[in-house]
Structure 1
Amino acid sequence: MNRINKLFLIFVLGLLSFYTYAGEKTNILLIFIDDMGYGDLGCYGNQDVHTPNIDRLANEGIRFSQFYVNSPICSPSRVAITTGQFPSRWGVTSYISGKKDNKERGMNHNLNIMAPSVARNLRNVGYYTAHIGKWHMGGGRDMADVPLITEYGFDESVTQFEGLGERYLATYETLNLKDSTRGLEKQSAALGRGVVHWAKREKFTGIFVDRTIAAIKNAQEAGKPFYINLWPDDIHTPLEPPLELRGDLSTKARFLGVMQEMDRQMGRLFDYLRSDPELYKNTLVVFTSDNGPDMAVNKAGVLRGYKTFIYDGGIREPFIVWWPSQIDQTKNGSVNEKTVMAAIDLPLTFMEVAGATPDPGVEYDGQSMLEAIKGEKEILREKPLFWIRPPDRPGYDGENNPDLAIRLGDFKLLMDVDGSNVQLYNLMKDVSESNNLVEEMPEKAVELKKQLVQWYNQYPHDIDKTKYNM
């Protein structure tokens, strides 16, 4: 065999090896709904909503009853699920707004480009990466001088007014409601730095599903496994369902309409995955939400609190895993009620799935939950979880929304930064956080309080009660 033939053979074998390797890799799709509460899905007990496609996903996979995001508001929650670290490490403790607002609240304008990124880690081991939908970790309002989404490790991106790069901006032609008027869309268009498309707000989830399917096809054409963020901005207000789903235009009717339309669009995507044998065999879908419900719109089921609160209603979310090739069929439709899992766990979990190496020298705050999401084990969490209340959200109508919280084992402690307002709950016995055990279990309260104070003092934060008239 001559040298040219040998080189050609090596090339062909290498190509075959690459495609076999790519085919064996697990595709990962992370669906991160916006402002959906713990009790907003049929499979989590809501009898009013119509979510058959999401419920079917749960029936074909595993639901978790104790999954937490790491902030009760959008931007820091998204930082945590991207980095595997508590968002306060990066100076993001509330939603990212304009430059003046951010400065007043002690906030950074964007996620530091040097922060860990699960997409970057997966791309380094051959994954095709895409971000589709809401970003809200920099860009928008009056900020054009921040990194593009693709600079965080994505091969492609498309977003809405909370990010830069290619984006869809909403027109509000379908409803003439007070909450439908936003100058933020025009602000975003004026920033440039990406192709701008305009579309009716009611079309957005369908557009993002279309773009997700297109990204899957791009990955297949490249012969690569994919990691895709699908982060819709439903069910965040303004609530604009299609004409046939608007009902009487009340907030409840519009909420139910948006939920139904969001579920319909998710169903299109899930059916697409099921229809392709390779996708069905090799795809992991994780479905959850970024924070608890808007107090004016929806509820967190039996949980206490809403969006912006660090009671469980603001931070505990539905969590569904669909992974046909790895979850034993006997586990389909089951509920993991013991594993306490968090958004900061997902980057390490996805890296283990993908065979990617965590960044050297980075202290990840989460832990891999691979055995739990495969249904092999109910993992008892070893690491504590911590939360900081968004500094600009002290509570509603004079109610004191505690500043800090820790969960360790069955117990959760909340308190203010000055050491007052201490509350201790056994969440396995008191899921609604109604029976304060501080007087009954003072030693447990002291133990958790000490850990919480130590953690809080490690990272940037701004909980200044005098500044916000608390």
Structure 2
Amino acid sequence: MRILFLDLDSMAPWHLGCYGYHRNTSPNIDRIAKEGVRFSNYYTSDAPCFPSRTSLMTGQFGIRNGLVGHGGTAASLRHEGVSRSFKDRLSFESMPAFIRSSGLRTALISPFGERHSAWHFYAGFNEVYDTGDNGMESAEEVTPTVLDWIKRNGASDDWFLYVNYWDPHTPYRAPESFGNPFADDPLPAWINENVLEKHKKKVGPHSVHEINMYDNQTYAKYPRNPGEIADMDGMRKMIDGYDCGVRFMDDHLGMVFEALRSQGVMDDLVVIITADHGENMGELAIYGEHGTADQGTCRIPMIIRWPDRVQPGVREGLHYHLDLLPTLAEMLGSKPAESWDGESYAASLTGETDEGRNYLVVSQMAHVCQRSVRFDNWLYMRTYHDGYHLFDKEMLFDLESDPLEFNNIASIRPDIVKQAVYYLMEWHDERMASMTCDVDPMWTVIREGGPFHAKGFLKDYVKRLEATGRGDAVPELMRRHPSEFANNEKKTAFSKAIIEQHIKKLQAEGRHDELEELMRRHPQIAEMMVKK
């Protein structure tokens, strides 16, 4: 048996032809999809990169393995403690270790372990090839290593090859020589000037004003990656940049598949194509980021081609990516590990059923602190730390009519909100009961100052909000995140100066209604004006 596992970083499924995209971004992936099973409702349990791949490799939710962030205590796996034996569980129960125990030689081509100091990512691989640029690689830097490995090993029996490609990840890096095959293609139908004008009011990292997270800086090395989206030309540059990355990567996948054909092994090769997370391209008015627990970030592609074993077609059931481990165990005739949280969907692969889970809970703790519930056609999002986006605490979206999450209908569908909260609490109770530790790592993140990518940026960011006509958001940001401003006298003075500047601006522009509303919501502003 031979298995090729393709991990395509930041690959949003709806930008693939086999998932219905109108642009020809993925002809080689699409051909594999026609020969296998394509899952429509497949999600990472924990986003973004580091938590997602850790959950995939350990088979455990982040709340259980402890790794949910990109820094601080919650960016490390929990120790096994007194139950640890001569070797830890990763030696036997991680995905590559388990596959290795099934008789396959395991190889990894990826820089991911070094990118995040994710050394547990390597557990169970016989061979590791670090492509050397910490996840900033373009496909032409990855493919030669893949082709060399295939040339030396492809015709041998019983191997598992895991390959990382990074081209859909910001900054978009397809070489200029690749051109733009989508220059004459229309943008996605939902993108228009009215949407852009609405999105210009958005506050938070990776809004149209700050594609570079908190500013509009650009880099000569990455000309496809815009610093901001000021008009429809900028929008086209954004979408085309991402799609060119996908197509450039797909072309290189075509080279890999052709090399396998030349070795005579493509006909019976198992091919698994997936991602660590998606990429927001307008969902929640966020672009070029994977920093929320929403559909844009957490829905991922999953395509499995398994000749003579799977029944090709589309499956609609709800599944987590960590369900892959027990699925592989069943397909390989092995017993799943007791430590895994996943549920096998082997019956969906073989065509016996299309059933999935009743609901999913997906989490994000690196950019915001959110947990969301996905069930029926609903996405319920609960925000614990907004990462400076000013999200409502509760958000509800009908994904059937609003797949891009434009309209929060939580206030008009309290019945659905209550159902979602019940599911969330049920999930949390079950997860906490399964753990030897009584700490939810989400609260570790919050107690340590908040998500890693939302630490220490607010002071400078409020200046940018003022400069881009969004200063009316500053008082609310200060109310939600007082510690960012009030840690010392200097910050306090800065906060008052910002507020005073904004008040003067409202007065000078005759925006008295807005000033009165600010004073109503924030009595401390009224007190400040009285004192002056």
With structure 2 as the length reference, what TM-score do the two structures score? 0.61
Is contact 1:212-1:228 (8 Å) kept?
Answer: no
Residue 381 of structure 1 aligns with an amino acid whose one-letter code is R
Compute the displacement of 1:126 (Å). Answer: 1.2
Structure-2 change in CA distance of 1:43 and 1:440 (3 Å): same
Give the letter for the 2:45 counterpart: N
1:237 and 1:432 map into 2 onto residues whose CA distance is 20
* Cross-structure match for 2:414: 439
In the TM superposition, 1:341-360 aligns within 5 A as: 341-359=319-337
Residue matched to 2:314: 335
CA 1:412/1:169 → structure 2, altered by over 3 Å: closer, same or farther? Answer: closer
Following TM superposition, by how much is the alpha carbon of 1:404 offset from its aligned partner in structure 2, in angstroms?
Answer: 1.3
- Tell me which amino acid in the other structure corresponds to 2:97: R
Asked whether 1:271 is paired with 2:250, we answer: no
User: Partners in 1 of 2:145 and 2:350 — Cα distance?
Assistant: 27
After superposition, where does 1:295-374 map in structure 2 within 5 Å?
298=281, 306-328=289-311, 331=312, 334-336=313-315, 338-359=316-337, 362-374=338-350
Match of 1:94 in 2: 69
Q: Which amino acid aligns with 2:394?
A: V
Compute the displacement of 1:426 (Å). Answer: 5.4
Q: For 1:393 and 1:301, how far apart are their aligned partners in 2?
A: 14
SS of equivalent to 2:46: coil
RMSD: 3.6
Distance in 1, Cα, partners of 2:22 & 2:15:
9
Distance 1:271 1:388 in 2: 38
What CA deviation, in whole Å up to 9, does each residue of 1:37-68 have, x standing for no partner?
13221222333453211122222223221011
- In 1, Cα distance between the equivalents of 2:172 and 2:224? 10
Shift of 1:417: 4.1
Partners of 2:275 and 2:140 lie apart in 1 by: 20
Aligned ranges 1:170-185 → 2 under 5 Å: none
- 1:285 equivalent to 2:271? Answer yes
Q: Deviations over 1:238-279 (max 9, x none)?
A: 333234214594433543433222111111222344455554
In the comparison of the two structures, how many residue pairs are matched?
Answer: 374
The whole-number CA distance in structure 2 between the counterparts of 1:238 and 1:140 is 15
Deviation at 1:316, TM superposition (A): 0.5
Structure 2 letter corresponding to 1:375: G
Q: Which residue of 2 aligns with 1:169?
A: 133
In structure 1, C-alpha distance between the alignment counterparts of 2:38 and 2:399, rounded to whole Å: 18
| Correspondent of 1:405 among 362, 372, 390 | 372
Cα deviation digits, residues 320-376 of structure 1 (max 9, x gap)? 222232234xx4xx322x2112211111111222233333xx332111111212334
Using the TM superposition, give the Cα deviation of residue 216 of structure 1 relative to its aligned residue in structure 2, in angstroms.
4.1
Q: 1: CA distance between counterparts of 2:271 and 2:170?
A: 25
Equivalent residues of 1:74, 1:291 under 8 A apart: yes
Q: How far apart in 1 are the matches of 2:375 and 2:393? A: 19
Helix, strand or coil: the match of 1:285? strand
Asked if the contact 2:143/2:256 (under 8 Å) is kept, the reply is no
Corresponding residue number in structure 2 for 1:106: 74
Are the aligned partners of 2:167 and 2:173 in contact in 1 as well (CA < 8 Å)? no
Answer yes or no: is 1:241 the counterpart of 2:205. no
Q: Partner of 1:403: helix, strand, or coil?
A: strand
SS at 1:266's partner residue? helix
CA change 1:439–1:427 in 2 (3 A) is same
Evaluate the alpha carbon distance shift between residue 111 and residue 154 of structure 1 in structure 2; reply closer, same or farther with a 3 A threshold: farther
What CA distance in whole angstroms lies between the structure 2 residues aligned with 1:244 and 1:56? 26
Among 130, 133, 138, the alignment partner of 1:159 is 130
The within-5 A match list for 1:23-38 is 26-38=1-13
The match for 1:132 is: 109
Counterpart for residue 206 of structure 1: 143
Structure 1: give runs of 5+ residues left out of the alignment: 1-25, 96-101, 161-167, 171-183, 186-199, 395-401
1:85 to partner: Cα distance: 1.1
> How many angstroms apart in 1 are the aligned matches of 2:274 and 2:62?
18
Q: Secondary structure at the match of 1:169?
A: coil
Residue 313 of structure 1: how far off its partner (Å): 0.8
Q: How big is the shift at 1:310?
A: 0.6
Question: Counterparts in 2 of 1:188-267, with a 5 A limit?
Answer: 201=138, 203-214=140-151, 216-217=153-154, 220-221=155-156, 224-247=157-180, 249-251=223-225, 252=237, 253-267=240-254
Structure-1-length-normalised TM-score: 0.69
Q: Who is 1:63 aligned against? A: 38
- CA deviations 1:51-95 (Å, max 9, x no partner) are 211122222223221011122310111011112211232221123
CA 1:412–1:288 in structure 2 vs 1: closer, same or farther (change >3 Å)? same
Q: Give the corresponding residue for 2:523.
A: none
- Report sequence identity in percent: 24
Distance in 2 between residues matched to 1:352 and 1:57, nearest whole Å: 22
Contact 1:234 1:258 in 2 (8 A): yes
> For the residues of structure 2 that align with 1:111 and 1:240, how far apart are their CA atoms?
37
Contact kept in structure 1, 2:380 and 2:417, CA below 8 Å:
no
Q: CA deviation at 1:438?
A: 4.1
Which amino acid is the alignment partner of residue 242 of structure 1?
P
Task: Please list the CA deviations of residues 386-431 of structure 1 after superposition, one character each: whole Å capped at 9, or x if unmatched.
Answer: 22222x413xxxxxxx62123355554321349x823445556654
More helix by share: 2
Q: Indicate the residue corresponding to 1:195 in structure 2.
A: none
Unmatched runs of 5 consecutive residues or more in structure 2: 81-87, 184-222, 226-236, 386-391, 433-437, 451-479, 482-532
Distance 1:464 1:215, change over 3 A: farther
**Closer/same/farther in 2, CA of residues 122 and 312 from structure 1, 3 Å limit:** same
Contact 2:318–2:360, Cα closer than 8 Å, also in 1: no
When residues 28 and 428 of structure 1 are mapped into structure 2, their CA distance, relative to the original with a 3 A threshold, is farther
Q: Distance in 2 between matches of 1:272 and 1:121?
A: 27
- Taking a change above 3 Å as real, the CA distance of residues 148 and 158 of structure 1, as seen in their structure-2 partners, is farther
Moved more, 423-432 or 364-373: 423-432
CA distance in 2, matches of 1:380, 1:45: 22
One-letter code aligned to 1:393: H
CA contact (8 A) 2:170 2:289 kept: no
